[in-house]
Structure 1
């Protein structure tokens, strides 16, 4: 663990004793809650395989094992701060606790689906959905808090996501004008009891009254998801808490409201030990179908705690008309920027066939999947990936743009050694060897390590390579390794 103070085990147990009768092995549960949990990563499928990522981790002295139920994800020892490593800065991986990867697995999103992530920040689940869609099509990622939106966009940029429109509205009032969706994820704000292994100090804030207050908000979010779900579509409702008030009771209330228009499906994941949903709590008997929900207790798989319910909407219900799409036209002359970028870096012409550009601000251009069809409402905070600044001379790729395109560049590309890599990510100037710059032309260059793009730099005639790695992405952590902070733009 890092330096965070850990709440004493007796205090942790006391905050959770009301669940004792729900848990098959109370001593094992208490022991699991009191110890740090493993770190978990998933490989960005557009950039690296999980096996190749595991090899990179091994070179850093980090042993990693694939998850039995999700082989593209890797489990590491507790306390690994992944943001301090170059492969994280390069968008090769994302850190996401094992349990929190369950909702997207059960959402079963696939290319061609129109998807809404109603409570999306900080973006790990959103990025997983985007990857499941092949980084194509239409994904709308919504959240309400401005700071959380900033983290969401920063993670999507680092990972190269271009099929997502980000919106900022109260999810319980998400507008009907957005149309209906084939898949909706409601990873609801909750009391977060399941994260106590990472955030043990939260134990002091837990009480039944908190869960009851949150439940009203959770019901409103799930109710809205039912409205925005297409007939025959799927909704996944999830929380990272143990409280039935926020879990089964919320689902039971919405099922009762829908009067048979919503079906609770069995939530099952091969290779993962799970427990069924609760069917009685605090004197209230629930329908036996609530056992189809999934509970993940920390001691069963050495994870955090999680709850997931999978719901399907009656396919015989009438659907709504398709929504008015947002206008995604480029301005006159913007194609010239793309032509110049292609020529400078020797990018393949076919690279742009499944992409489109849009000018969303005067600062520069965004890149969007060609088949992305977001609704006109609600208004977007941003669409796709901000990839090129055009309001400066000369124009330049953003770091997110360099990460996205750098592997395809055949010109103005410079490979760095491990020491040079660390200096670059720490925003330090460095002096390449004559061999490295034998074919270099002064100006902007994409820098790589092991063939993976890291970002942009300036090669000066004086022989110095100046790092343009953004200060908001770089935190000069120990050992010369940076700490990534999620930011929207360079």
Structure 2
């Protein structure tokens, strides 16, 4: 059994992603492609000054595991002064240099890092339990997780993305956060199958030229070609068109991008409104606590319908954020609805041996599994799903719910994501760690138990925690050491660089 030599715990702070010399200067901005937007921006000097600053770190508390007040206390103990964000009661703002992704509470899914403006689309979708939701371009999963929790981690959310690598990042975030009401699919959203049925809500956070991310990616100023906006347009129209088709009558479609270009924003929405004349209307949307600008109604000689002003633009200088665009479309409720789709067959039998074993070992309530749906998707083990999760048969799923119990090993063991879900209800084989043990555990090191821990716990697998918060699974060996089972891909992970 290898012993990993200790390494110092990660610093809480990091250099900003770009030093001051790499950030754009007002002179550079004044001679850049951004000047094409000068007439749209109310205060060019403030806009330029915002782009020269690093973007603050923002995160939200996982509502299934911690309150925003408790998360604030954790950050305050770390000598930080987290700032609330008006309009986002479950979110906090931190300094740009803070290393969120390497904190213990982040690694075990108590919070998720997500740029402020990227948190906003889900807030206007009017999500209610029982709705069926499609996230058409879902990776890396921040908005998907927001949707899942807004539905109470119940019901049916379909999270799709075209790229396998992006889908793996999506599933990793859902696993860390304990999301159990999502089925993931890998498909080109432009060709999303009709056989999937219609959805109450469809989110299209469209691939775009990402101009609004220049505060995180200053090199974009030099390498960006404004013609890129024109190249994205056809794909964005196709995605929004398919979203409208897959939306139920009376349902909502939200279209968003992280770019400034009207060619990817208002012009896309205007063309789809014209294509579905009389079937769609742009909803008025409001974001209390945020200073937004109306959508553009005239661009490069083209006059757009006045209702395009109902779209919302987020300029970086107005709220100290990245750039963003949001439009909310409502489908005419009088249109005929399609038949309900065929649902996927999820085998729920032949799991009793494994489930009874978990109840017996960890002291879970006898009726514990009635709140979930259990499904074997691979030979590796069992997946945990919301009891009312009902994904369609088409398209084929990449994954459903959360892989929670590995049965192809002896003895079988819960996964880390499974332990994070069932751990709070476990009454046996619980091992509370101190701070030094916590850090060793997250670094996947061997470490010694205290005398009290050895006296209270027999050798074998145990669910470990710190300050009552579940960390995952460890093995207490007869030789007198504790072996971490924390996954290497989660250990000291960096916060995602995607806008989520």
Alignment check: 8 A CA contact 2:155 2:390 kept: yes
Q: Please name the residue that 1:393 is paired with.
A: 410
Cα separation, 1, equivalents of 2:366 and 2:201: 34
What is the TM-score when the length of structure 1 is the normalising length?
A: 0.96
Equivalent of residue 436 in structure 1, options 453, 465, 468: 453
Moved more, 194-203 or 422-431: 194-203
Q: How does 1:136-215 map to 2 (within 5 A)?
A: 136-215=154-233
Q: Secondary structure at the match of 1:353?
A: helix
Q: Please name the residue that 1:2 is paired with.
A: 16
Question: Would you say 1:483 and 2:497 are equivalent positions?
Answer: no
Question: Would you say 1:51 and 2:69 are equivalent positions?
Answer: yes
Please list the CA deviations of residues 130-152 of structure 1 after superposition, one character each: whole Å capped at 9, or x if unmatched.
Answer: 00000000000000101000000
For the aligned residue pairs, the C-alpha RMSD in angstroms reads 1.2
Alignment check: 8 A CA contact 1:68 1:272 kept: yes
Deviation, 1:112, is 1.0
Q: Please name the residue that 2:130 is paired with.
A: 112
Cα separation, 2, equivalents of 1:208 and 1:461: 64
Q: Given the superposition, is the C-alpha separation of residues 383 and 311 from structure 1 closer, same or farther in structure 2, using an over 3 Å criterion? A: same
Q: Secondary structure at the match of 1:438?
A: helix
Q: Please name the residue that 1:421 is paired with.
A: 438
Please list the CA deviations of residues 301-324 of structure 1 after superposition, one character each: whole Å capped at 9, or x if unmatched.
Answer: 111110000000000000000000
Unaligned runs of 5+ in 1: 475-481
Deviation, 1:353, is 2.2
Unaligned runs of 5+ in 2: 1-14
Q: Please name the residue that 2:320 is paired with.
A: 302
Alignment check: 8 A CA contact 2:23 2:53 kept: no
Please list the CA deviations of residues 71-122 of structure 1 after superposition, one character each: whole Å capped at 9, or x if unmatched.
Answer: 1011111122211100001100000000101111112212111000000000
Q: Please name the residue that 1:258 is paired with.
A: 276
Please list the CA deviations of residues 280-333 of structure 1 after superposition, one character each: whole Å capped at 9, or x if unmatched.
Answer: 00100000000000001111111111000000000000000000000011342x
Cα separation, 2, equivalents of 1:80 and 1:179: 43
Cα separation, 1, equivalents of 2:494 and 2:209: 27
Question: Would you say 1:404 and 2:421 are equivalent positions?
Answer: yes
Question: Would you say 1:317 and 2:329 are equivalent positions?
Answer: no
Alignment check: 8 A CA contact 1:130 1:164 kept: yes
> What count of residue pairs does the alignment treat as equivalent?
478
Q: Please name the residue that 1:473 is paired with.
A: 490
Deviation, 1:28, is 0.2
Deviation, 1:206, is 2.2
Please list the CA deviations of residues 141-167 of structure 1 after superposition, one character each: whole Å capped at 9, or x if unmatched.
Answer: 000101000000000000000000000
Alignment check: 8 A CA contact 1:473 1:485 kept: no
Moved more, 56-65 or 224-233: 56-65
Q: Please name the residue that 1:478 is paired with.
A: none
Equivalent of residue 27 in structure 1, options 24, 38, 45: 45
